């Protein structure tokens, strides 16, 4: 169960140098095809923090097409994690922990700024709580969340209403969207040898879906291999997901359409077809990964919603399967 205390740093041995605390907020301006992320990874026992901001519009298949990116590696770690301002210009405050946050940013060169409020639509979903996640009921020992040690320890997800303002290279936008955030903590070596998808579907304040899926590569193509965790939120009530499938077609590594099916603990089936209105390969949120992320449009009857879906691909995960030496080694295996 997640409490307000989980917004702050968690106890760890000072010698645990790989201990990390992370938070990410997603926002979008769908009518402009704009998708943005603000990501923080702090290593309090080292005293250093990754601060990374990205904003892109339309379909960007190459990093140089991204409208704005500011990866600061590293800035000094904040003393507390529930309210801080980093030297990068990124600030966060838990205004109603653990559900509501204010996230603001002022770029040193003045080319990007935003001031956003995230209001959670439900109680946080604790990946490791069997009362919320039916896939861990009866589990003995650590669970496989699909991304190695990244989500294997403390982790919660939440869908919320994001409002505020964005200024991008002199143009101002109003932000009013529904999308996700997450918070993780625990030891993580960031080896980049795994891949997992982080997917949302939203249809306004009364419905959202979230999936964490394992990723593989078959015949040179990224595929979704199985559900690791997920939930549906309807009118503020959360229902764990027991089964899900995802298929997607891509341009380079960026998904441009998808087909999602999911069944929740009530036996209720959910199905969505998404079309991307924007996307990009975000290489700079972590040196070990690329987040191949898309802003998808979903329509169910007369209802239309937009949300991010991203394939988080470890660079070693890709190299082992797609590089010339990786393929050579794979071909030599008996």
Is 13 part of a structural domain of the chain? no
Is 89 part of a structural domain of the chain? yes
The confidence band for 144, taking pLDDT boundaries of 50, 70 and 90, is low
**How many structural domains compose the chain?**
1
Predicted confidence (pLDDT) per residue in 204-249, tens digit: 999 999 999 999 999 999 999 999 999 999 999 999 999 999 999 9
Strand, helix or coil at 319? helix
Is 117 part of a structural domain of the chain? yes
Residue 330 has pLDDT above 90, yes or no: no
Backbone angles phi, psi at 245, to 5 degrees: -135, 150
Is 6 part of a structural domain of the chain? no
The confidence band for 170, taking pLDDT boundaries of 50, 70 and 90, is very high
Predicted confidence (pLDDT) per residue in 283-293, tens digit: 999 999 999 99
Is 265 part of a structural domain of the chain? yes
Is 326 part of a structural domain of the chain? yes
Residue 122 has pLDDT above 50, yes or no: yes
Range of the domain at 96: 20-332
The confidence band for 138, taking pLDDT boundaries of 50, 70 and 90, is low
Predicted confidence (pLDDT) per residue in 303-328, tens digit: 999 999 999 999 999 999 999 999 88
Residue 172 has pLDDT above 80, yes or no: yes
Q: State the pLDDT at residue 153.
A: 77
Is 255 part of a structural domain of the chain? yes
End-to-end CA distance of the chain: 46
Mean pLDDT of the chain: 95
Predicted confidence (pLDDT) per residue in 3-34, tens digit: 999 999 999 999 999 999 999 999 999 999 99
Predicted confidence (pLDDT) per residue in 52-94, tens digit: 999 999 999 999 999 999 999 889 999 999 999 999 999 999 9
pTM for this model (two decimals): 0.94
Strand, helix or coil at 107? coil
Separation CA 145–CA 196 (nearest Å): 8
Burial per residue of 45-77, b for 16 or more beta-carbon CB atoms within 10 angstroms, e otherwise: beeebbbbbbbbbbbbeeeeebbbbbbbebbeb
Residue 135 has pLDDT above 60, yes or no: yes
Q: State the pLDDT at residue 334.
A: 44
Q: State the pLDDT at residue 280.
A: 99
Is 10 part of a structural domain of the chain? no
């Amino acid at each position: 169960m997640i409490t307000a205390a989980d917004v702050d740093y968690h106890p760890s041995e000072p010698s645990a140098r790989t201990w990390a605390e992370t938070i990410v907020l997603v926002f979008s301006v769908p009518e402009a095809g704009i998708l943005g992320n603000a990501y923080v990874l702090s290593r309090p026992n080292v005293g250093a923090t990754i601060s990374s901001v990205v904003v892109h519009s339309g379909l960007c298949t190459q990093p140089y097409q991204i409208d704005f990116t500011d990866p600061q590696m590293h800035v000094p770690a904040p003393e507390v994690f529930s309210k801080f301002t980093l030297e990068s210009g990124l600030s966060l405050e838990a205004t109603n922990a653990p559900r509501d946050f204010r996230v603001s940013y002022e770029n040193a060169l003045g080319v990007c700024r935003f001031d956003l409020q995230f209001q959670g639509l439900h109680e946080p979903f604790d990946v490791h709580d069997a009362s919320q996640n039916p896939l861990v009921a009866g589990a003995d020992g650590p669970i496989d969340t699909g991304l190695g040690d990244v989500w294997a320890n403390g982790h919660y997800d939440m869908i919320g209403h994001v409002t505020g303002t964005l200024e991008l290279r002199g143009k101002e936008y109003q932000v009013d969207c529904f999308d996700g955030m997450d918070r993780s903590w625990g030891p993580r070596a960031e080896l980049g040898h795994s891949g997992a998808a982080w997917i949302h579907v939203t249809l306004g304040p009364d419905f959202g879906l979230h999936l964490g899926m394992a990723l593989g590569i078959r015949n040179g193509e990224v595929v979704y291999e199985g559900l690791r965790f997920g939930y549906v939120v309807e009118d503020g009530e959360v229902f764990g997901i027991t089964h899900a499938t995802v298929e997607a077609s891509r341009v380079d590594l960026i998904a441009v359409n998808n087909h999602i099916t999911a069944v929740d603990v009530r036996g209720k089936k959910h199905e969505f077809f998404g079309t991307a209105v924007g996307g990009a390969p975000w290489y700079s949120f972590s040196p070990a990964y690329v987040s191949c992320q898309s802003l998808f449009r979903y329509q169910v009857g007369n209802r239309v919603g937009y949300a991010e879906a991203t394939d988080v691909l470890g660079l070693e995960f890709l190299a082992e399967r797609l590089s010339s030496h990786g393929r050579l080694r794979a071909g030599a295996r008996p």
